[in-house]
Amino acid sequence: MTRPEEQRLLDARISLTQQIDRSGVVLSSRLAGAFLNVPRHLFVPVFYRREGDRFIPWRRTDGDADEWLAAVYTDDSLITEVDDIHAEDAPGGGVAGVPTSSSTAPGLMADMLDALDVHEQHEVLEAGTGTGYNAAVLSILAGDRHVTTIDRTGNLTSKAGPRLNSAGFDPLVLHGDAARDLPAGTVYDRIIATASVRRIPPAWLTRLRTGGIMVVPIKGTLAGGMVARLTKLPDGTAAGHILHTPAAFMPLRDGTPPSGEVPDAVTGPSRDTCLSGRSLDDWTFSFFAQLHLPPGLIRTYARTADALHVTTLYDPADGSAAQIADLPEGPPRVTVDGPRDLWAPVETAHRLWQVLNRPRREWFTIEATTNQQTVSYTAPDGRTQRWTL
């Protein structure tokens, strides 16, 4: 590598670290040093850029190399896999589908790593290897011999391992279900997930050492995911709070196929509602709404030919469905089918959210055992609301 190339890559890492710092993340000198010393471009040599309804693979050799490098070292997430097709394996014309893996925005990574508070020789478990970039940062913070990273997708772990080695790191990279396939007998001082879960897997709770910390994105079908930071207490409970940062990580994959298909049309009784389906696109509310909805709920949304917004909720557990359509005139209209009105708890949640003065997510606490997991909010008057995950 020529000296100008070395300087260009160093300048790119400095620029990224400055972007993270300006974003408001608490960036300690150790964490800043980790981002300065991990070359992100080695872990995302190819990623997708969106063009219309397609995802086009982008390599440094595709056009302007400086533009590609600037994109890699921008504080933004980079999509690396769409419908299980890695960007490196995609045809030149790209693919259409749903993103299934990405390199997390470095600013969000830094926020979660700051909350994780990793020190040298901490035993660290990362659930969701992805590109390996986060594992590399963890390797600097804890020492690579103390980092274990697991991913269910063999194509990702087979690529991440060699890239970590090429960057000078040698953590334990495992192919398996990160919620279950943990090395026998190992306990961890820190656990971090880079994919979301609906509930914290019991194995993470039992394998976290007393006094240890875990940072886990928790998300259902709605946009407003949350990141929880919990500490393991002597009685085995993990307790903590929700971070201020909203996060919509892709779900941790466990090999279980989707449990049902959302109906295109819902036929049944209809009624007016004062709440548009678009309210679920508001991350400040959808986080709260998710607490009131069943765990297996699926949500889709679309626009009709005349540009009207339509949201559909479906619960495969009992076949209940609700469709909420904005109308050209008058209030939105709800059509329901099945044994339950799925929109009613959203309306109830929205009223309570307003009564509680639209509480921010960082005002909520979380408690988890292997049997029960709850999120709580205590109002200034001392009254506490609790929801079961």
Which residue reads 């009131």 in tokens?
292
Contact between 150 and 182 (Cβ < 8 Å) = yes
Contact between 292 and 350 (Cβ < 8 Å) = no
- Token pair for 95: 């693919």
- Number of CB atoms found within 10 A of residue 5's CB: 9
> What torsion, rounded to 10 degrees, do the Cα atoms 10, 14, 16, 20 define?
160
Q: What are phi and psi of 364, to 5 degrees?
A: -100, 150
Q: Where are the alpha helices (DSSP H) in 48-132?
A: 65-72, 106-116
Contact between 121 and 145 (Cβ < 8 Å) = no
Catalytic sites, residue numbers: 101
- Token pair for 336: 């329901």
Quick check: helix, strand or coil at residue 150? strand
Q: Where are the alpha helices (DSSP H) in the chain?
A: 3-22, 29-37, 65-72, 106-116, 133-142, 154-166, 202-207, 283-290, 344-355
Which residue reads 């879960």 in tokens?
197
| C-alpha to C-alpha distance for 386 and 64, rounded to whole angstroms | 53
Residues 6+ apart with CB under 8 A from 72: 12, 40, 41, 44, 47, 78
> Using N-to-C axis directions, what is the helix angle for 29-37 and 106-116, rounded to 10°?
140
